[in-house]
Amino acid sequence: MNSKRAADRGLQAGTLARGPLNKISDVPGVSVGHATIRDARHNTGVTVVMPCEDNMFRSKLTAASFVLNGFGKTQGLIQVDELGTLETPIALTNTLNVGVVHDALVEYMVERCARERVPMHSLNPVVGECNDSQLNAIEDRAVTRAHVLQAIADCRSDFDEGDVGAGAGTICHGLKGGIGSASRIISIAGQSYTLGVLVQSNHGCLSELTVCGRRLGEEIIRARKQAQEPSPMDRGSIMMIVATDLPVSDRQLRRILKRCSVGLARCGSYFGHGSGDVMIGFSTANRVPHGGMARVLTRREINEEALEGAFFAVAEATQEAVLNSLCCADEVRAMDGRVIEAIGRYL
């Protein structure tokens, strides 16, 4: 795993101030953990985003999703969009392991609620995926429930990026992708708020790769002495997780999520037919108690015009998160002998 992030390589994605770690975990209470499987047949794993330190089923988080292109197999988004709340950690994995990861999240929340004496008779786990079959024998379904629990136990604020966890087998713009994150600080009425993004990048085509305005993909193709990219198609998927402490409604949060697409476009994605572009977001500011005991809820909510800064921030953070997923990844050899290069040799 490469330790050099985009900023360490002199790449400046935007102008807004970054959080202390420049990661999604700059939002207070948020942490991320991984379990990675790497052997002769597998480059895969699971990544868990823990949205808060307390029990999120007892006190749910305001949440939303937006699917730009639906070539994907996520779980749990129907209820998130209907009720506007999140009640479990968010897990990312490979396409054929969504079911077992769902089961593991259920196991974790059932045990936690029992231990904390929180009645729970239904649950809506949220799981996202990317297809890592170019670098992973995906049909083996190597991820187990134990790996999910391992990733949960691994959750921390200063987490690893690159080809780890759910990013171990992903390919981004023809180069080794993975997990990347970034954050931005915005000010509204004299108060500072944090917005962070985490991506599982497995999308894009090399010819369109753009790094802070530089058409790097075209340069790489020329350096390889290729006449053109063999298959210039934007295929694969990208999962984008947005966290913030802004006091927003689920409708406002969905408006913010849509602007992740700006950050993707700055990196050269055009959201092709085979690309699943999925955005999931939550706010730690407005919590919703379980059980309906509070019949009337009082919430803080920013004015609609104040969302402008959040739109700007999420675009920048998404762009840099994608770049970090590339910059922190090392090259990997596929089972057929192909080498998926890391971006570092071209920067």
Residues noted as catalytic: 237, 275, 277
Rounded distance between C-alpha atoms, residue 240 and residue 28, angstroms? 19
Rounded distance between C-alpha atoms, residue 199 and residue 135, angstroms? 18
Rounded distance between C-alpha atoms, residue 185 and residue 196, angstroms? 9
Q: Say if residue 212 is exposed, middle or buried (CB neighbours under 10 Å; 0-12, 13-18, 19+).
A: middle
Rounded distance between C-alpha atoms, residue 138 and residue 202, angstroms? 15
**How far from the centroid of its chain's Cα atoms is residue 70's Cα?**
16
Q: Beta-carbon neighbour count of residue 12 at 10 Å?
A: 10
Return the structure tokens found at 131: 């297809």
Q: Could you give the 3-state DSSP secondary structure of residue 1?
A: coil
Residues with Cβ within 8 Å of 104's Cβ and at least 6 positions away in sequence, in order, are 91, 144, 145, 147, 148, 149
Nearest CA among 79, 82, 76 for reference residue 129: 76
**How far from the centroid of its chain's Cα atoms is residue 17's Cα?**
20
Q: Say if residue 228 is exposed, middle or buried (CB neighbours under 10 Å; 0-12, 13-18, 19+).
A: exposed
